Amino acid sequence: EPEVTQTPSHQVTQMGQEVILRCVPISNHLYFYWYRQILGQKVEFLVSFYNNEISEKSEIFDDQFSVERPDGSNFTLKIRSTKLEDSAMYFCASSVGTLREKLFFGSGTQLSVL
Amino acid sequence: DAKTTQPTSMDCAEGRAANLPCNHSTISGNEYVYWYRQIHSQGPQYIIHGLKNNETNEMASLIITEDRKSSTLILPHATLRDTAVYYCIVKDNDMRFGAGTRLTVKP
């Protein structure tokens, strides 16, 4: 079964550093998403992306965050200047469409900001 | 701004049916009900979704009341591997997760 791939599985960075989390969505999917989950808390929506544009973003997704689809296969989340509170598991997801379509999630990148 | 209400936790005996309730009294006519689960710290996994008719797939059944204000996810023969947090989501634009129900399947 096709799957969403995320790299790296763990990322450790120093506060204030830039970090890029990478995702390879399922090849025929058109909608892409980032979620995060702080330890012990719920899964939080960050952003959705379609046709090379952000279609929806949450209040968490501020100017420190950006997303990009640099080529036909990768989907990235960049955090410009990481803060301690950015430490979380970040999940990428993709779907064929947005209405009545199920999301396929990757296994996540655990980001630790020191 | 949660659209759904679920019990915080439930237990189920292995081999028995697990019935997970969800209230969504403010659901609108074109909103679907989705169920996902998260096993430990893995990525959420899609289970099933429906609009107003009952649905069944290889994983579970979804029973939606006629007024659509509540639904029940049924795992017909729960196994230890079904221990997870189960999320009921009413989707308008994007899929937003609440706290879910922590289901523990016990031997």
Read off the pLDDT band of B48 (50, 70, 90). Answer: very high
Distance CA B4, CA B95 (A): 12
State the average pLDDT over residues B40-55: 92
Q: What percent of chain B has pLDDT over 70?
A: 96
> What is chain B's percent helix, strand, coil content, to nearest 5?
5, 50, 50
Asked if A4's CB is within 8 angstroms of B95's CB, the reply is no
Nearest to A89 among B41, B46, B49 (CB): B41
Q: Write down the pLDDT at residue A71.
A: 86
Query: CA of B43 to nearest chain A CA: how many angstroms apart?
Result: 5
Query: CA of B62 to nearest chain A CA: how many angstroms apart?
Result: 15
Is pLDDT at B91 greater than 90 in this prediction? no
Digit-coded pLDDT (tens) for B13-46:
999 999 999 999 989 888 899 999 999 889 999 9
Interface probe, candidates A103, A107, A112, chain B, greatest B C-beta count within 10 A: A103
Cβ of A89 under 8 Å from any chain B Cβ?
Answer: yes
Nearest Cα neighbor of A113 from A96, A80, A88 is: A88
Cβ of B53 under 8 Å from any chain A Cβ?
Answer: no
State the average pLDDT over residues B67-96: 92
Q: Write down the pLDDT at residue B2.
A: 59
Q: What is the mean pLDDT of chain B?
A: 93
The per-residue DSSP string of B43-92 comes to PPEEEEEESSS-EE-SS-EEEE-TTSSEEEEEETT--GGG-EEEEEEEES
Cβ of B96 under 8 Å from any chain A Cβ?
Answer: yes
Low-confidence ranges of chain A (pLDDT < 50): none
Nearest to B43 among A42, A56, A105 (CB): A105
